[in-house]
Amino acid sequence: MPRKTMEVSVEPTVLKWARESIGIDNRKVAKRLNVSVDTVTKWELGKKKPTLRILKELAYFYKRPLAVFFLPSPPKELPLPTDFRVLPKQEKSVLSEKTHLALRNARHLQSLTIELAESINRELVIKIGKANLTDNPEVVAMEERERLTMGLQEQFDWRNSLEALNEWREKVESLGILVFQFAMPVEEARGFSLTEGGLPCIVLNLHDSINARIFTLFHEYAHLLLGTSGICNLEEGFGKSSIEEKFCNHFAGAILVPKKDLLHHELIKPIRAYSEISDEYLSNIAMSFKVSPEVILRRMKILGLVSRNLYQRKCKEWKIKAEREKIKKGGFGLPPVKKCLLEKGLPFVSLVLEAHKQGAITYDDVADYLSIRLKHLNKIEQFIKG
């Protein structure tokens, strides 16, 4: 007869914290472990002790080291970013495991960046500006383009949207902003920004299209300018939070497609407003700026080139089309080196390698921080060296 695994004394509030920190309810845990919901509840109330085997399974399920369950109390964590998403009331507070994990990963990489920089005496310089909701988004966008040293011809010369995303990301990172990309459900969040934790941080959704990620990058950049952390789906609703979302959307469009440059574009007709507009026409302009047709249409609405009714009708058409063609994008099936750089970004990867070079961390630390096997380290080093 097999010997029963011994029960282990743990702090019940730690069990509850570990579960809630990844957005899982008791029913899902019970199903995963093949136990009753009542059993899971009793573990978290201290009325029943889990076995060591159960703790190991929970550690894997919650994406936590086993040692965390032996803490005397739940660790203090920074609060979740403000939820700016427009969702049905019953779904407002729901975040999936993947989104919770993306938030945790971003916080962890924030912390690691600070620790590694201190270990090699590197100063982390943050050069991001500041803005208020009373500011004109057009003016703020123009100022930030100058800060990013971005010229229109350079933008037009990029070969495609993928190159645009990489170049914009590098520009933003040069200001001391961490930019990560993690997979999350697109219908749940397009991205988020973090102002707490010592370093400003932007996270893009790897499941989103490249053009959408470019827009999200600057939507979240605007949140950083305003000094607010936020989880966003880029929709504009009603109330106080919608004012900030409208500002961030306006800013993102203005920095990507400056007013004067759009008005002087060769395809823009010198008339007051368009009565009709084709997808092909919008796509041709969008290709110049390396943005989506939606961004061009929004800019044209703001600048009075299309009516609000035409804008809303086109957006509705695109939304219906997108629902029919819904396809997950990015983040899967990538080579380990490419995935590492895509998710964590060149500044963080370079910092880890430099810390190792100076003897501040071990090879095992490098593999852990970059989430790679050591056999891939040589390829990453070669890529960094260029």
Strands 201-205 and 178-182, by their bridges, are parallel
DSSP readout, 35-97?
A: S-HHHHHHHHHTSSPPBHHHHHHHHHHHT--GGGGG-SSPPP-PPPPEE-----GGGTT---H
Tell me which architecture the domain covering 12-70 has in CATH: Orthogonal Bundle (1.10)
Rounded to 5°, the CA angle 39-42-47 comes to: 130
**Which residues have a Cβ under 8 Å from the Cβ of 283 and sit 6 or more positions away?**
293
- 235 neighbors 86 (Cβ within 8 angstroms): yes
Q: Which residues of the chain are modeled with pLDDT < 70?
A: 1-4, 88-93, 237-240, 270-273, 326-332, 386
- 215 neighbors 295 (Cβ within 8 angstroms): yes
User: CA–CA distance from 307 to each of 238, 293, 311, 312 (Å)?
Assistant: 21, 16, 6, 9
Question: Nearest 10 degrees: CA dihedral of 17, 21, 22, 24?
Answer: 50
Minimal CA–CA distance to 204: which of 256, 246, 169?
169
pLDDT at 383: 85
Per-domain boundaries in the chain: 12-70, 97-324, 333-385
On whether the pTM is more than 0.85, the answer is: yes
pLDDT at 275: 76
Model confidence pLDDT, tens digit, residues 326-365: 654 544 578 899 999 999 999 999 999 999 999 999 999 9
